[in-house]
Amino acid sequence: MIALKRALRLGEAPQVAFVGAGGKSAALFTLARQFDKPVLVTTSTHLATSQAQLEDQHLIFHQPGDIRSLQADKLRSVTVITGEANKDRLGGLDESTLAELSAFARQHGLPLLIEADGARQRALKAPAEHEPAIPPFVDTVVVVAGLSALGQSIGEVYIHRPDRFAELSGLKLGALVDAPSVARVLTHPQGGLKNVPPGARRIVLLNQADTPELEAAARNLAVSLLPAFDAVLVAALQSSAEVIAVHEPVAGILLAAGGSERLGKPKQLLEWKGKPFVRRIAETALAAGLSPLVVVTGAEAENVEASLAGLDVVIVRNPSWREGQSSSVKAGLAALLPKVGAALFLVVDQPQLPAALIEALCAQHAASLAPIVAPQVDGQRSNPVLFDRSTFPDFLGLKGDVGGRAIFSKHPVAWLPWLDPSLAVDVDRPEDYERLLRQAGTSE
């Protein structure tokens, strides 16, 4: 389980807008309690009076300019700032006051959390024409969706604005909500992506995953959502303040630049079950869902790259490959986009690598955000190894013929026991290749 602040990968003074349904306010106040400094909470629309009772301090701004009375050293742990009350609702702040509050928060290094629409306590919603009211200055938008609506009819009981939800999902009123329809609404420009400021991180929080079946549904949903979002979180905040899993793009970096001096021939092009090593590993990595898959080439670059024809890979040619593995590691990392959550380093002499192992490493990382996740065969470390993006800066100082092993001492390692001894075979010499071929013949 992962604290929500860590799962969202937030710094110490983020400005976050929460939209959607299915526990939005609960998520906002759960996050507010995870900072060790005062947190400002406000709304651009309204808050229920009952929600404001979760604060340590409630300030009402009656008119423009009231923000000038704020004193950072007088703020309590969770300070809610709203407009005046109207029956059971507290009014939101206008655009100019929100902008001033944003500037105040940045000046004093304080987190600012904003509820940017309402859902009348439903599990799902579709935004109205005037929603969501996301301020342009926020750096992160969290779109909350409640999984309890899965399998239920599209109607007022579970969905706020069911007519609009039906239109965006492509279903009819009264039809049953399924995972594809939720994905269509969340990824629609007039749905979950509506009014998200350019440059803001987009995160989906799939809440109410309080059964194994709903957790499984959330995992499947994450696959559909990730192309449009930076991360998909799975949680059951009604029963725990922590996140069950964080699904982010996991890149593969296939190190295929070495000269194979001890082997006497390029190991990248050795055949395994009718295909070159490098292609066999690339196909396995793609089948396991690694994206993007970066292949770093060097020695025999043209032949190696030709063997990958037709595959959805990113080729990075490393002109400095003779300087050792560290140069290829850094070249591969440099090709990744900022939204990548982790990178799995693949070595070119493991054509026997099963997709199931890659999937298991990614699943363990999603459930823990461990800095390093590595397989262990008979008590010994093996490859491939997954590195969380928090470790990427540590690779910049590597030199010579070293790889990820050089930073193991800097971070805790989550070990994944694996029972396949063939994983430990390194093809460095001709006899290693013969042994690998014999194992393949035995397994077949």
Q: Bigger pLDDT: 334 or 85?
A: 334
pLDDT in tens, 378-418: 888 899 999 999 999 999 888 888 888 889 989 999 999 99
Measured in whole angstroms, how far is the alpha carbon of residue 419 from the centre of its chain? Answer: 29
pLDDT at 441: 61
DSSP state of 94: P
Reply yes or no on whether the pLDDT at 29 is more than 80: yes
Q: What is the residue whose two structure tokens read 């590597």? A: 398
DSSP state of 67: G
Q: Assess whether 243 and 258 both reside in one domain.
A: no
Tokens in use for 295? 């292949």
pLDDT at 444: 41
Mark which of 247, 278, 306 sits at the end of a domain. Answer: 247
The pLDDT-based confidence of 443 (bands split at 50, 70, 90) is: very low
Q: Assess whether 170 and 268 both reside in one domain.
A: no
Q: CA dist 247 to 205, 234, 392, Å?
A: 10, 8, 18
Q: Assess whether 156 and 304 both reside in one domain.
A: no
Check which CATH number belongs to the domain holding 50 and give it: 3.40.50
Q: Assess whether 243 and 264 both reside in one domain.
A: no
Mark which of 247, 276, 310 sits at the end of a domain. Answer: 247
Q: Assess whether 206 and 326 both reside in one domain.
A: no
Q: Assess whether 165 and 279 both reside in one domain.
A: no
Reply yes or no on whether the pLDDT at 260 is more than 90: no
Q: Assess whether 142 and 79 both reside in one domain.
A: yes
Residue range of the domain that includes 408: 250-443
pLDDT at 261: 67
Measured in whole angstroms, how far is the alpha carbon of residue 173 from the centre of its chain? Answer: 32
φ, ψ at 83 (rounded to 5°): -80, -165
Q: Assess whether 236 and 291 both reside in one domain.
A: no
Q: Bigger pLDDT: 208 or 262?
A: 208
pLDDT at 420: 82
pLDDT in tens, 79-131: 999 998 887 888 899 999 999 999 999 999 999 999 999 888 999 999 999 99
β partners of residue 86: 89
Mark which of 211, 226, 247 sits at the end of a domain. Answer: 247
Q: Assess whether 311 and 432 both reside in one domain.
A: yes
Q: State the total domains in the chain.
A: 2
Q: Assess whether 221 and 362 both reside in one domain.
A: no
pLDDT at 207: 97
Three-state DSSP class for residue 200: coil
Strands 201-207 and 231-235: parallel
Check which CATH number belongs to the domain holding 359 and give it: 3.90.550.10
CA distance linking residue 268 with residue 349, whole number of Å: 7
| Dihedral in degrees, nearest 10, Cα atoms 172, 174, 180, 184 | 50
Element (H, E) at 298: none
Q: Is the pTM higher than 0.85?
A: yes
CA distance linking residue 361 with residue 358, whole number of Å: 5
Q: What is the residue whose two structure tokens read 């013949």? A: 441
pLDDT at 26: 92
pLDDT in tens, 216-256: 999 999 999 999 999 999 999 988 889 999 999 999 999 99
Q: Assess whether 184 and 320 both reside in one domain.
A: no
- Say which residues have a Cβ less than 8 Å from residue 6's Cβ, sequence separation at least 6: 369
Q: Assess whether 177 and 225 both reside in one domain.
A: yes
